[in-house]
Amino acid sequence: MIKNSLDIRNDFPILRQKVHGKPLVYLDNAASSQKPAVVIEAVKNYYETINANVHRGNHLLSQLATEATENARDAVKSFINAAEREEVIFTKGTTDSINLVAASITKFVSEKDNIVISHTEHHANIVPWQMLCERTGAKLRVIPLNEMGEWDVEKGLALIDEHTAVLALGHVSNALGTINPIEQFIKKARAHEAAVLLDGAQSAAHMKVDVQNLDCDFFCFSGHKLCAPTGIGILYGKRTWLEKLPPYQGGGEMIHTVTFEKTTYADIPFKFEAGTPNMAGMIGMGAAIEYLQNIGMNKVAQLEDALLQEATSRLLQIDGLKIYGNAKEKAAVISFLVEGVHPYDLGTLLDKFGVAVRTGHHCTQPIMDFFNIPGTVRASFAFYNSSDDIEAFITALNKSLNMLR
């Protein structure tokens, strides 16, 4: 039985409530994680005691806001082991971060180039690169997928050549849970001097990430998936790239001087942070990172892997149930279908039992097309889940199936 030895569950106020008269069992963590009380309190404290714009005032509240948000930047630097704090850019989320890079890197891509992504990407790591190809004439290449939900490594590596401008890969699949073999692909990209971007939306919250060890040029993730508020995200970029990329947006904060004849831009990171930032989100991000580091990301990964193994074992005992995504290296995500049952119907009934799961294509339509299915039911676990949640989930699932079959 996987119990919460650290009594983590009690740190999350929302998990104490009931849904349709049943205790909430929250298994939609790949979509968005819940927030511990310390994060909620940090955001509340900002609005109650500081609530001032940053970098733009010499009054005390502005100074306090600036200090708190820049402390959050330092926390992110430590969390992902960036070489410098200036390499940490605050954005709205992973999607915003990827779009920033895809837009800004346009001048470095031509029609003779190619962009390499994979078949398992979230739409947010497909569409911006398609748009870049439309602007530049570059070709999009896709690493193929196999029935296990893993990349075909040999065929994938062959796609990277001297004309590869960007390698943009998801670290972990949000739909299948596959932990992708990114190291091999980064090494090949390095040999051809391609820029490397990693979509870390599903990895930063669930395992220890070291961007220097990964040797990626860009790494993106969202706060709302790692216990931080919504509307805040991170783009890590190596200084060499951030300094030569043009700004994504123009406005206040990202300038050095402005005249009607010419504008000069601020140094990084502010060159990419136009406008009033999400101060409350930044402060909440800092609080969430401190909370996670106090637990330890290795401990988080250990707890979640145990949940994955237990839930997988229990699900495979159900007649007619098929799991999609059976990679050897896998995060705590289980996508499945039950023969003769539509995933939407199953998800709706599970909700009546207080169990929150996700149904649909999970913003990965190419994966669903590969398996020739309309979508799946996805149960995704976090470190604050336990064996009790799995038991409630399996009980609710069996009751639901008895009604549907």
The first and second tokens of residue 103, run together, are: 């837009």
- H-type helices in 81-220, by residue range? 94-104, 127-136, 153-158, 182-191, 211-214
- H-type helices in 297-386, by residue range? 297-315, 343-352, 365-371
**Catalytic site residue 363?**
yes
The one-character DSSP state at 20 is T
Contact 117, 94 (CB under 8 A): no
DSSP string, 188-212: HHHHTT-EEEEE-TTTTTTS---HH
Contact 170, 118 (CB under 8 A): yes
Tokens 């402005």 correspond to 258
Catalytic residue among 216, 220, 227, 363: 363
Residue 240 φ then ψ, to 5°: -60, -40
The one-character DSSP state at 86 is G
* Angle (CA) 228 229 232, round 5°: 95
Name the nearest CA neighbour of 375 among 176, 140, 112, 87. 176
Residue 179 φ then ψ, to 5°: -90, 110
Tokens 């831009």 correspond to 265
CA distance linking residue 31 with residue 163, whole number of Å: 35
Specify the 3-state DSSP secondary structure of 63: helix
The sign one gets for the Cα dihedral 7, 8, 11, 13 is negative
In order of 56, 118, 217, the CA distances from 367 in angstroms are 46, 10, 26
Q: Which residues are catalytic?
A: 363
